[in-house]
Structure 1
């Protein structure tokens, strides 16, 4: 393909190794090469804005945009502030997940503030301050993101429990590393948010690139003219991509970026 002008990159499992919780120097060097080309780099993540901000700092990104909460929150990278937030009524979803996943705990995002939680989450997974609250308080007002964590279960068990389930008026994805369900407004995805941004930036569709590893990256990989799945991704994610890179532990995304921008 021609050198991409819009490069969308997932964080966890793509840029950042979940096992070590680090971004390798090799990946950072590849990203610098992309930026030097003049391409628009968009960090596209399921993380909240608070969880994304330290990564923007570590990568020394000083301009452009980031998509957080699977596209529900658009961030001005230079200002380190949200530009827009899409929300939904999460009460019906919380009720259905509580019934289907007995004992699960919930969190809803308060953009730029933290999360309301029904029980404490691991701070390594849910970034920012956590405020305990009753389930009805979590969904008393519309939110951009709802998380359900099925503690004590494996991701494959969660996948089986929700196989074929249609949750009301929302988009939901499952995490491949943790027993998590991430729920955002209906029609919201990384791919949909990136298409809107692409049009606004005036980038031709054939000059788009994306890399990711999770279920929440599938729409983004299909959206891109060249979508790259990480080597450790589940088969469904790899099937949505044009290319499969090496796993994150082997800096797979860096090898692809060096090839395209070398």
Structure 2
């Protein structure tokens, strides 16, 4: 955990009387269930998840969506939660694994970190020449070197020459190889080093590249500073390798039940799986009727 804990504490380590002031929520595999056999998630949250989040917001907790998705892939989730009414402050949202921080609605980009991804992309393609590359085209979709598997990207896919894709600084790069496994991509990334970038491998052979020092945790720290919230007073819930820094950053980091083992091992606690509304169960522990 990110802070010392008083002697009087619950068995799981949080101080007696602790209640999160900020709740950082991954989306795919946490709020949205994965589509079996596909690299995409279902389009809608279940009612228990939506209602638990709304109860927490009504009780005064700051809700912060934190995802590897691009900004335009996150706004529909914010819309579905319907947390912002007349007179309410816009939500803080951490997108692109921390490279973009924005307020919504309306969309107002507050932070965007960029980097030169060309060397890292070419190093991966030298090993996996059939892999596809994608760069966000904000408000439209993605510029891609070749089409991605159906349902894996949000918005339009604009076929673009590789030299043009990596010819200028970007906030995030996706490299996807449908012919490889996640384990092969983990080994590949370790072996070639990917110097000058941060990287994270998803559930499939999906590699996210980001600027050095950028993660969901760095984006959340910016939000917490703006809100005047200590990370020790934050709850974070996620299921993927790109959630590791976020779970370590928060005072209480909780893994979804179906998370990969490295995430389960790193978390302060484990809730039920996404198919059993694990995020709602964790949130209701602090904001439910019997909390």
Mark yes or no: TM-score above 0.5. yes
1:142 shift after superposition:
0.6
1:36 and 2:58 aligned? yes
**More displaced, 95-104 or 222-231?**
95-104
- Matches of 1:106 and 1:87 in 2, distance apart? 17
1:13 and 2:29 aligned? yes
1:86-125 maps to which residues of 2 (within 5 A)? 86-125=113-152
- Matches of 2:108 and 2:225 in 1, distance apart? 21
Aligned position for 1:152: 179
1:138 and 2:160 aligned? no
- Matches of 2:74 and 2:25 in 1, distance apart? 12
Relative to 1, partners in 2 of residues 1:109 and 1:197: Cα closer, same or farther, differing over 3 Å?
same
- Matches of 1:111 and 1:89 in 2, distance apart? 18
Aligned position for 2:101: 74
- Matches of 2:127 and 2:256 in 1, distance apart? 30
What is the TM-score with the length of structure 2 in the denominator?
0.86
Check whether the contact 1:110–1:143 (CA below 8 A) recurs between aligned residues: no
Relative to 1, partners in 2 of residues 1:133 and 1:195: Cα closer, same or farther, differing over 3 Å?
same
1:56 shift after superposition:
1.1
1:164 shift after superposition:
4.6
- Matches of 1:65 and 1:26 in 2, distance apart? 22
DSSP-derived class of the 1:126 partner: coil
1:204-243 maps to which residues of 2 (within 5 A)? 204-243=230-269
Aligned position for 2:217: 191
Aligned position for 2:193: 166
Check whether the contact 2:149–2:178 (CA below 8 A) recurs between aligned residues: no
CA deviation map 1:213-255 (0-9, x unaligned): 0010000000000000011111111122100111101111111
